[in-house]
Amino acid sequence: MRASTLGFLGIAFSMCLSIGCGDDDATVVNADAGDGDGDGDGDGDAGDAGEVDAGPGLPDLDSSWLTIEPGGETICARGDDFRFFARGGSVNKLVIFFDGGGACWSAETCGFGEALFSATAEETLDGLEGGVSDNDDPENPFRDWYQIFIPYCTADVHWGDNVATYTPEDGGDDIVINHKGRTNVQAALDWIQEGFEKPETIFVTGVSAGAYGSIGWAPHIIEAYPDSEVIQLGDCGAGVITETFFEDSFPSWNAEGFLPDWIPALDIPIEELALEDLYIGIANHYPDHFFGQYNTDHDENQILYFVAMGGLEEDWSPTMRGKIETIIDGADNFRSFIAGGEKHVILPYDEFYTYASDGTRIRDWVADVAAGEPVENIDCGDACAEPEIIER
């Protein structure tokens, strides 16, 4: 999974309801198998989900990953085909997972190629075997849910709608990047809406750059499924950026006009918006839904890119904490989990089951969130230099 290679990208916030994307006849290709069983109660106890019988309003998917090729206008950064992945569950609950993998917004950053961002959706399925994707683990709270995995290959945190041409200052060849993240996501959501009539619960999450995809698209998903419980959790996307980042990135992605304009609190100029504004505005507009973030106190990747943007390493953690506190103070239905150490991204990895903070495993906290149980804000406090580990 590529989210571990690039962290950060604290950007913001947009989305659309009106992008028509994808093809009516998407191609479905068999992918790597993975099965498991669970009882669907959110506590990870064993049941039997190896064979899936689709119920009313559910797609006919078994427990193996399938590759969906939507075609149409979907595309990756350098012209490769876009695809996403889906597998069946045993309950009417759905995980929508936004992958991460960096971004670019200039000739300099886009010229580094895959050193700075993921440009294809070819290999992402190889990473779908640990953490919340491990359906063989009896503690996985999502092992019996339907799961959709949306790769990230457009260098725009899933929100762009532009074909950008970047001209290097040294006179080299132009660099053309398809910042078409919104087109690709909309194609996946169109497919989801065709197959899922009314999921009981939808867990919208994402890692690294995908964390911003999860909060940016959450209002869209809530509007599409007004009778479903929608839960949003961003994994390691705290939005700590420098003041000039919006000016540099948003015009390149054509992201300025895609705020959820039906939310009055977000009707402000994009350059004045911060990630905490987005979380507070969305959470207050949808008070019956849960919103949250997971971060580590010394996230090595988020710090790396903050420094690359001109920030100071020692400023990252207090700035991150200030943003989290602002959201907590501004939205009653937002919760945060801050763990010690520097690991970037937790959900796709086995550490999901052992990392803890203040005596609470992240796995147990997420399981309670997914089950609709109340949770507290968790913080490593004065013991943040190293992760707390609770062995199984």
355-376, pLDDT tens digit by residue? 999 999 999 999 999 999 999 9
Cβ contact 157:209 at 8 Å: yes
Q: Outline where the chain has alpha helix (H).
A: 107-110, 181-195, 209-224, 245-253, 275-285, 300-308, 313-330, 362-370
Q: What is the pTM of this model?
A: 0.87
Q: Is 93 left (phi over 0), alpha (psi -120 to 50) or beta?
A: beta
DSSP 302: H
User: Which pair of tokens denotes residue 182?
Assistant: 């919104």
- Residue range of the domain that includes 254: 2-389
How many of the other CB atoms lie within 10 Å of CB of 360? 17
Cβ contact 196:94 at 8 Å: yes
Ranges in the chain, pLDDT < 50: 2-24, 31-52
Cβ contact 142:37 at 8 Å: no
Cβ contact 85:184 at 8 Å: no
What CA–CA distance (Å, rounded) separates 286 from 280? 10
Percent of the chain with pLDDT over 70: 82
Half-sphere exposure of 38 (CA within 13 A, CB side): 28
| Sign of the dihedral through C-alpha 154, 156, 160, 161 | negative
In sequence order, what are the residues at sequence separation of 6 or more whose Cβ sits closer than 8 angstroms to the Cβ of residue 136? 34, 35, 36, 143
What CA–CA distance (Å, rounded) separates 45 from 140? 8
User: Which pair of tokens denotes residue 311?
Assistant: 């920030």
CATH number, residue 281 = 3.40.50.1820
Q: What pLDDT, on a 0 to 100 scale, did the predictor assign at position 1?
A: 53
Number of domains in the chain: 1
215-238, pLDDT tens digit by residue? 999 999 999 999 999 999 999 999
Q: What pLDDT, on a 0 to 100 scale, did the predictor assign at position 149?
A: 96
Cβ contact 5:18 at 8 Å: no
